[in-house]
Each structure stands twice: as C-alpha cells, then as structure tokens.
Structure 1
Amino acid sequence: MDGNSKYPRWVGVVLSLFVPGSAQFLSGRKGGGFLWFVVLSLVPFAGYGVAIVPREASVHAMYAINFILLPLLFITMLCASYRPVRRLRLRGRIGFVAVFLSLTVGTALLRGFLPSSPFRVPAGAMEPTLRGTTTSREKTQGSSMEWFWHGKKQVEFRASASGSVSQLRMSRNDIKFSVGDVPHKLPAYCMGSFWPTQELKEGDVIWSGTVQAGDLILVDRLSYLFRDPRRGDIVVFSTDGISHKQVRPGSVYVKRIVGLPGETIRINPPHLVVDGRTIRKPIPFRTLDYENAGQLATPDDYIELGKHDYLVFGDNTGKNQSLDGRYFGAIPRSCIIGRVNTIYWPFSRIRVVE
C-alpha cells in the first residue's frame, strides 16, 4: 500500500468527530473502534440512569458522568484518532455518511427511551416548588458564574434597523414584529414588560433587563411502568389528550396530581377536597392553597374522574397563574410522560422535588 493510499493523520480526528471510533476502525483496529463507538454512545444513558434516583448526590453523579467523564473520554478518543487512515473509495464514503446519518437519527430516537430526561419549567404555575422563567428591569452582574449558580443573566435586545414598528404578533413562544421592513423577534419572557414604540432607530434598545431562568428538572420515565401515578406526584404530561381553547396540542406541561381515577374533586378554599375529605397528605398538601376557578368556580362545583383519568393542578393557583385541571378538566393516563424527581439546574437549586 503506497503513501497515497492513506489520509493524513488529522483526517482521522475529523472522521471521529462525526462517528466516534471511526479512525480506529478504518485503520485496522476494528475492535477498538467499535468499543469507542459503544462506550461513547452508552455513557449518556448511564448519566441519566443514575439521575433517576431522587437524591441530590444522584444529580452530582450525573454531572460528573455527562459533563466530566464523557468529555474526557471523547477527548481521549480524538487523541487516539490521530493516526493514518486508509482512503475511502466511493462505497466507503457512502457507508460512512450512512453510518453518520443513522447515528444522528438513532440518537434522536433513543432520547425518548432515556430513563430520565431534562425539561425546563416554562412559567410560574408551579411556584414556589418549581421556578419558571421571570424577568426584571433590575441589572445583575451578568457573570458566567452568576448564570451557572443562580440562572441569572443580563439581556439586551437592540433594533437592527430604523423605521416604524408594525405587524406585532405575540404567541406563547415569542414576540414578532417588524421595524421598517426588517423582521425582529423577542423571547416570550419579554412579554410582561415589552412596550413597543411607534418609531425605532437602528441600535435603539428594544428591551433590557435581568432574566431569571426557569428550573431545569429531571423527569423519571420509568417509575410509571411499574406503578400508577400517586396523589402529590409532580408530573410532565402531553397536552394531546386535552380539548381546551387555551391549551395548544403538542405541548408539554408540568403540574401536580391532585385527583386519582374514580374520585370526585372539589376546592373549599384553601383546601383540596376529595370524596368529601379534606386532603392533608402527602406533606405538600399541608401548605398548598387552592383557589376556585374554571370548572371549580365555587366550593359546590366538582369534577368526577373516570377510571383512567387524573386531575392536575399547579401549585400556584392564584388568579391567572396556572392553566390547569380547574379549566381543562381531567387528563388521561396515557398522556403522562413521567414523574419529576429533582431540580438539576441552576446549581444553587439542586434538590429533590416533593
């Protein structure tokens, strides 16, 4: 085999960036290449598998595995990939692209089978248990450590053109408008304190302030394979089984289970009443206050659950704070994705969720 039959050493590193272990495999060490591929594919599963245990130590172990061990292994693999790799013919190139695409698609599909998965709390419906994204006009230091530890950062948006503000459209995800003929977009968290002016000049500050990021939580996807959801569990669920004009299909909500199949639920402020009994267990129900609203507008109103239905409320049921089961009624068991067990970011808020 002549010298031109091999790629330069750096090509092996590039190939391994896309498919771990490919440099070793193509240089003749097929066993080593396959081992690297398997290890680097499975380590994230190990990290999220450890995090399924509702302990603060489990979250720290997940950080150690996914953010320390995994990068170290990946760097080691890349260093070992600095080797001559035989040149790929057309069939080999097609095969490499096919493996890369299969790996990309397979990884996306396998995320749905992780024992636990991350989820960001979008709003304040679960306050004070879970913190949603909030904003203020106050300034913060804006350092990277402030963001890492407390989830706070200073944000500023400026106009990228001059002209009149028009075509203002607000949705749950963002605020869209045009300045002159140039489209602009702001995140939804700006909505509460965004006042568009009629005219803007290029460089004008449209919005600035401090963003307090919502909690990142870990969702246990395995527990409900072995047991039914219980009262007091905080769950993440799909809205596909809900028919309500304010609930968008295909979204994911996080709420606390307050009603189980076959029960009749009322609210006698501030207490939850189930089948005529005031609920004080588990522990969160001793301090949570519930307000009448929606289908439970008065203490006499009730919701009766079917044999596969669950009722969910936010922990913050103050006026217009939580779009929950008081408005859209019961959710079917099939919509529940998993149980929330821990907050894993910001770092200062790592804790077990009750």
Structure 2
Amino acid sequence: FTPKWKKEAKLLHKSALKFLHYKRDLLKADRIDEIESRRADLLDAIKAGNSTRAEEASKQLRATCEGALPHFPSQSAWEENVEVIFVALVIALGLRAYIIQPFRIPTGSMQPTLNGINIHQSDDPNFKKPWLGQQGWELLTRGRSYRNIVAENDAQVVGIRDASWFLFTRTRVLLSDGKQLSIPAAEGEAQKLLEARGVLDPRTGNAAVDPGTGFKVVQGKKFAKGDPILRGWVDTGDLVLVDKISYQFRRPKRGEVFVFDTRGIKTGGSKQMVDQTGGTHFIKRLCGVPGDELSVKPPNLWVNGKIAQEPGILRVIEAKGEYSVLNPNGYELARPDPSYPLPLSRPDQKFVLADKTRPGMREYVALGDNTGNSLDSRYWGSVKEFNLAGPALFSLWPITTGHWGFIR
C-alpha cells in the first residue's frame, strides 16, 4: 500500500520533468539548475519515507516552477476570450476560403431545385403580422419574415442600392421625401417589387449613380401617404454549402449544380433579366463542359448532337411535378435583344466551348433550372475555368422547404 502523500510527491516529481522538457527553450540556465535541484530534494525525501520533508520539498518545487517564467504574465479572462474569438475567426475564414463556403441564393433562377428569395405581397387591407411566437417559429424553420411597410408621405422611389452583408441580403431604397427603407431581398427583386427602372448616365451610358448618396438613380413606383410599400412576407433563399476543394482534384461534371464568380462576365450586357444583374456569384446547373457543342431546341437541350441525359437536365426537359408549374416549357431560347448579340437565341445556333486553350480559360455553360426566369449562358456566354468556385454540396437551411440535404 502506497500512502497518498507519496503518490502525490511522485506525480509532482514527474510533472516537473515534463515542465522542463516543454519549457526548456524559454528557461534560463540558472532556473533549469534550480528546478533540477528541487526535484532531487523531493526524490530524496520520497526515498527516505519522510512525509514532512516531502511536503516542504513539494512546496519549494512548485514555487520554483511557477516563478521560472515571470516575464510571461497570465492572461485575463477578457484577453483569453478575445484570443479564442480571433482563433475561431481565422479558422472560419480559412475554411471559407479553401474548403467550404456558405452561399445564399438570391433569385428564383434555380427553382424548383433550389429556392431564391420570394416576396409575397398581401392584398388584404387589414393584414397584420402573426403573433411573435409564430413569427419566430416560421423564421427558424422556413426563413420567413413579415413586413408591413407603409408610405409616411406622398413619395416616389428614386434610388436603390445593394446593402447585403455576409449572408444577409438587403436592399436600401431611397424615396423622394428623403426617407430610406430596407427590403430583405436582392436588388433585382426589390426593383421588380417597386417597379424601378434604372436611369442611364448620358456621359457614360452606364447606370447613373448619385455621388452624394451612392444610390443608383431610378424611376420607380409612386406612393400616396398610407399606401403599402411592402405588406406581406419574405421567404429567404436557400442557404447552401459550396465545396471549394473538389475541383482541385477532379474536373467539373455536366449536370451538377455549381457556383462561380462573375469576373469578366458581362451579366448586365443584355436588357433581359435585369433583376438578376450585378451579382458577384451565381449558382446554376453546369450544362456544358470544355469541348461540348450545345444548342437549344425547346424543350430540349442538345449536347454534341444528342439530347442531354444527365438526371438534373432531364428533370428540366421533361417538366414534371413542380417543374411543370414553374418551368413548363423545358429549356427555352434566350429572348431576342436587337441591341446585344446572344449566344443561344435561335434553334440553329450552336455554342462550342473552348477546350484546348491557355490555363484557366477552358469554357463551361451555366443554365438555370427555371430557364424562363434565368440570366445565364444563353445571354452572356461561357463561364471560364478561373471563375469556378465549386459544386453546390448541401442545402443547409431552411429545413422545411423540401430542399434540405445533398443537392442533386
């Protein structure tokens, strides 16, 4: 039977040795010698079986170890919390940059596969928000938020700008009376809601921007005092996780849903689908890979002389179930725009994607599943290899729309 004091003394003797190993590069030579001396005193007391000597030697050894690094003050609770938060942010940013990135779908171009933000206006003049508990539950499970925004004065929509931050999609709206509103939707969706048309700068031909406020100059809907501006609810777009590492080890596959940035893509060139212009990232279905030859002969998408057979593409072509409601015509041609050349606006057009080219410039085609309401490669051409972010992996939230799970 080993007495308790001897077990504790042996444990301290071993712990002091570990301390020396871990901190030897930070300890001065005289401190190392002092700790070794205290360990020797403790070991002698243990071997002698003298508990009093062992207790005294233990106190001295602890004090010596604790005072060996006086130039490293202990952190306060506040400093420790800041350090933990900083490390967590660095890890999160690293994951977002190189491994997996959350992406909020702002528009309905991929419906019904994935939902964008949908604004529902109520025609009921007596509309009232549900009680707070129901609002909280619907926000948690469906991403639904209720709004009852009413004009305080006679006013017209005169300015609009994107005010999104991280995963929170917001649009700021400027009224002629100086009031500003926040609409929880993408800029394009807010423009449709408010019937806002952009004004061109005659000097540049681009959208006019007020230098004082930073708002795009628009001519929008007029409201009388008391008129509802937004009375109803807004369903948030699906929050998906983008796999940013797969394309480092494999080639993109035709038929998968993917995310890409819009560097070098003239998404605002055509007047079509103006509600979807200006985004920094798009999510679409990858319908053509380098070397493919594509054409659209509604409702079919032809790839290399045959109707595409990938499951995701076939769902759009066949237009069954939810697809028959939202996109009954399958793949449609781009709507003609005399002022702008379109890659796929006629059945006889063939779109050939570059394969043998310099690094980063191989070409892909991106089409929305809701092709009747999608700004995609039919309007602005190919997506270059350097634009690719990664395949859309998982629909994370909301959890009650039927989309939760791996994306097909």
TM-score category by the smaller chain? 0.5 to 0.7
8 Å CA contact 1:165–1:177 kept in 2: the answer is no
Change (3 A) 1:187 1:165: farther
Change (3 A) 1:104 1:146: closer
1:114 and 1:147 map into 2 onto residues whose CA distance is 30
Residue identity in the other structure for 2:119: T
Change (3 A) 1:171 1:303: farther
Answer yes or no: is 1:269 the counterpart of 2:298: yes
Residue identity in the other structure for 1:304: V
Give the corresponding residue for 1:200: 225
Residue identity in the other structure for 2:287: V
1:265 and 1:183 map into 2 onto residues whose CA distance is 46
Q: Which residues in structure 2 correspond to 1:200-239 (within 5 Å)?
A: 200=225, 205-239=228-262
1:175 and 1:112 map into 2 onto residues whose CA distance is 27
Residue identity in the other structure for 2:144: K
Give the RMSD, CA atoms, in angstroms. Answer: 3.4
Answer yes or no: is 1:303 the counterpart of 2:354: no
Q: Shift of the alpha carbon at 1:155?
A: 1.7
User: What is the number of equivalent residue pairs in this alignment?
Assistant: 260
Give the corresponding residue for 1:284: 312
Give the corresponding residue for 1:137: 121
1:111 and 1:250 map into 2 onto residues whose CA distance is 23
Which of 149, 159, 162 does residue 169 from structure 1 map onto? 159
Change (3 A) 1:248 1:96: farther
* Greater displacement, 207-216 / 97-106: 97-106
Answer yes or no: is 1:178 the counterpart of 2:175: yes
Answer yes or no: is 1:337 the counterpart of 2:337: no
State, as a whole percentage, how many aligned pairs show the same letter.
Answer: 28
Residue identity in the other structure for 2:177: G
Structure 1: runs of 5+ lacking an equivalent: 1-30, 32-85
Change (3 A) 1:183 1:214: closer
8 Å CA contact 2:145–2:235 kept in 1: the answer is yes
2:145 and 2:303 map into 1 onto residues whose CA distance is 43
Change (3 A) 1:222 1:186: same
8 Å CA contact 2:287–2:313 kept in 1: the answer is no
Q: Which residues in structure 2 correspond to 1:1-354 (within 5 Å)?
A: 103=87, 106-107=90-91, 109-113=93-97, 115-138=99-122, 141=130, 142-159=134-151, 162-166=152-156, 168-171=158-161, 174-178=171-175, 180-188=177-185, 189-194=189-194, 196-200=221-225, 205-246=228-269, 251-280=280-309, 282-288=310-316, 289-293=330-334, 294-307=342-355, 308-318=362-372, 321-348=373-400, 349=402, 350-354=404-408
1:352 and 1:105 map into 2 onto residues whose CA distance is 26
Q: CA deviation digits over 1:119-170, x for unaligned, max 9?
A: 11111100110011111124674522222222223222245xx544256124
8 Å CA contact 2:157–2:194 kept in 1: the answer is no
2:179 and 2:138 map into 1 onto residues whose CA distance is 34
8 Å CA contact 2:157–2:222 kept in 1: the answer is no
1:331 and 1:113 map into 2 onto residues whose CA distance is 20
Structure 2: runs of 5+ lacking an equivalent: 1-21, 23-69, 163-169, 196-220, 270-275, 317-329, 335-341, 356-361
8 Å CA contact 1:127–1:316 kept in 2: the answer is yes
Compare CA radii of gyration and give the structure with the larger one: 2
1:209 and 1:190 map into 2 onto residues whose CA distance is 14
| Structure having the larger proportion of residues in helix | 1
Residue identity in the other structure for 1:333: E
TM-score (normalizing by structure 2)? 0.56
